[in-house]
Structure 1
Amino acid sequence: MITAKDIHKYYGNLHVLKGVDLDIKHGEIVSIVGASGAGKTTLLQILGTLDKPEITSDTEFQLNNTNINVLNEKALAKFRNEQIGFIFQFHQLLPEFTALENVCIPAFIKKTNKQDAEKRAKELLDFLGLSHRYDHKPNELSGGEQQRVAVARALINNPKIIFADEPSGNLDAESAENLHKLFFQLRDEFGQTFVIVTHNEELANMADRKLTMVDGKIIN
C-alpha cells in the first residue's frame, strides 16, 4: 500500500528527513511517534503528497501501486483527491458551510453530482452519529462533533489511505478515546489504511505498529 525508500527532505540547510524507509500494508493502522522536531509531520506531508521529497538515485515512493514521483501536478492533485483522506488536529472545517456541505466538498472537487455526494455524506454522518447535525455550522458543534465531521469529509471519496496528524490533540479525553476507537471501527468497516502521527501514547500503542522517529529517521 505504501512503499517509501531513502526519503530525504531539506529546508534550506536544514536536513529534516535523513533517508526514511517505510513499508505499510493494506489495512494496517500505523502510528508514528517521536519528540517535536523529529520530522514526523514533514514525513506525513510527503507521504500525503502535500510536499515532495528530494529525489535521489535511491528514492522510491509508491502509494497504492502508483509511482508518485512521476506524476505531474494535475495528476497528483487528482490522485490525492481520489485516493487519500486527511484528518488534522484542527478540523479545518469551513465556517460558512454546514456539516453536510463541508463533508461534500471533496466529492464536488471530484465532480460527483450533488445528489450522490449528499447521499454519501449523509450515510457517513449517520455512521458517525451525526444524523441530527446535517444543517449545523461548525460553531454550533462540539469539538468532538467537529472532528467527526472532518473524519466524514476525509472518507467521502472512499480513499484507500487516511493520514492523520495529531487527530485527537485538540480534544478532551473522552472525545479523544472515542475518536481512537472510531479509527479501528472505520478500518474494519471500510478497509482503509491509517497512518497516524501522534503524541498520544494510548493511541500510538493501540496501532498495529508503532514507529519511532528520532532526528529525521525511523529507528524501529
Structure 2
Amino acid sequence: MIKAENIHKYYGDLEVLKGVDLHIKKSEIVAIVGPSGAGKTTLLQILGTLDKPTQSEGLSINDTEIKRLNDKALSKFRNKHIGFIFQFHQLLPEFTALENVCIPGFIANRSRKEVEEEAERLLSFMGLSDRKNHKPSELSGGEQQRVAVARALINKPDVIFADEPSGNLDTTSSRNLHELFFTLRDKFKQTFVIVTHNQELAQMADRKLEMKDGKIIHS
C-alpha cells in the first residue's frame, strides 16, 4: 500500500528526516510515536503528499509512484486516494456538519446528490444524524472530530493519515475515536497511519513505529 525508501528532508541546514524506509500494508493501522522534534509530522506530511522529500529513492502509494505526478495530477490523486484527520479538525465554521463532510466530494466533481447521500450515511455511521445541520460551534469537541473523520472518508480513500487526532479530546472522546478507527478499518478496509503521543492508541495499533532524531529506530 505505502512504500517509502530513503526519505530525507532538510529545512535549510537542518536535516529533519535522515533516510527513512517503511512499508505499510493494505488495511494496516500503524502508529508513529516518538518525542517532539523526532520528525513524525514531517514524515506524515511527506507520506500524505502534502510536502515533498528533499531526496528519496521512492515513495509509492497504491502502486502509484508519487514523484511521477505533476502538481495537477498529484492534487487529483490526493483528493481521490488520501484522507486527512488533524488534531485541530479544521472544519469551516460557516458550514454545517453535513456541508463540511461534503466539501472533498464536491472538489472531486461528484454529483451533489451522490455526495450528500454518502455524507448522510457517514454521519449516521458516526452517530451524528441529529447533528448534521449544526455548525461546528454548536458541536462538542468529540462531535467535531467525528465530523472531520467523516469528511476524510467521503471519497472512500485508500489511506487515512491522522496527526494527533485525539490530542485535543478528553479521555472518553479519545477512546471512542480510537475504537472508531478500528471499526472503520474492519468495515471499509482502509489503511490508517497515525502520529500520536497517546500510548493507549499506539498500543492498539497493528504496528508501532518509533522515531527518534529523524529515523525509525523500532518497528
- Identify the TM-score tier after normalising by the shorter chain: over 0.9
Q: How many pairs were matched up?
A: 218
Q: Counterparts of 1:55 and 1:198 in 2: how far apart (Å)? A: 25
Amino acid in structure 2 at the alignment position of 1:2: I
Q: Counterparts of 2:107 and 2:22 in 1: how far apart (Å)? A: 30
- TM superposition shift of 1:43: 0.1
**Alignment correspondent of 1:4:** 4
Amino acid in structure 1 at the alignment position of 2:125: F
- TM superposition shift of 1:55: 2.7
RMSD of the alignment, in Å?
A: 0.5
Q: Counterparts of 1:140 and 1:131 in 2: how far apart (Å)? A: 14
**Alignment correspondent of 2:157:** 159
**Alignment correspondent of 1:101:** 99
**Alignment correspondent of 1:17:** 17
- Within a 5 Å distance, the mapping from 1:185-200 to structure 2 comes to 185-200=183-198
- Within a 5 Å distance, the mapping from 1:1-220 to structure 2 comes to 1-56=1-56, 59-220=57-218
Provide structure 2 residue ranges, at least 5 long, that are not aligned to the other structure.
Answer: none
Q: Is the 8 A contact 2:92 2:136 kept in 1?
A: yes
- TM superposition shift of 1:54: 1.6
- TM superposition shift of 1:113: 1.1
Normalised to the residue count of structure 2, the TM-score between the two structures is: 0.99
Q: Counterparts of 2:68 and 2:157 in 1: how far apart (Å)? A: 20
Q: Counterparts of 2:122 and 2:188 in 1: how far apart (Å)? A: 11
Q: Counterparts of 1:76 and 1:55 in 2: how far apart (Å)? A: 18
Q: Counterparts of 1:192 and 1:133 in 2: how far apart (Å)? A: 25
Amino acid in structure 1 at the alignment position of 2:109: K
Q: Counterparts of 2:163 and 2:132 in 1: how far apart (Å)? A: 25
Amino acid in structure 2 at the alignment position of 1:46: I
Offset from partner CA, 1:157-188 (integer Å, 9 cap, x none) = 00000000000000000000000000000000
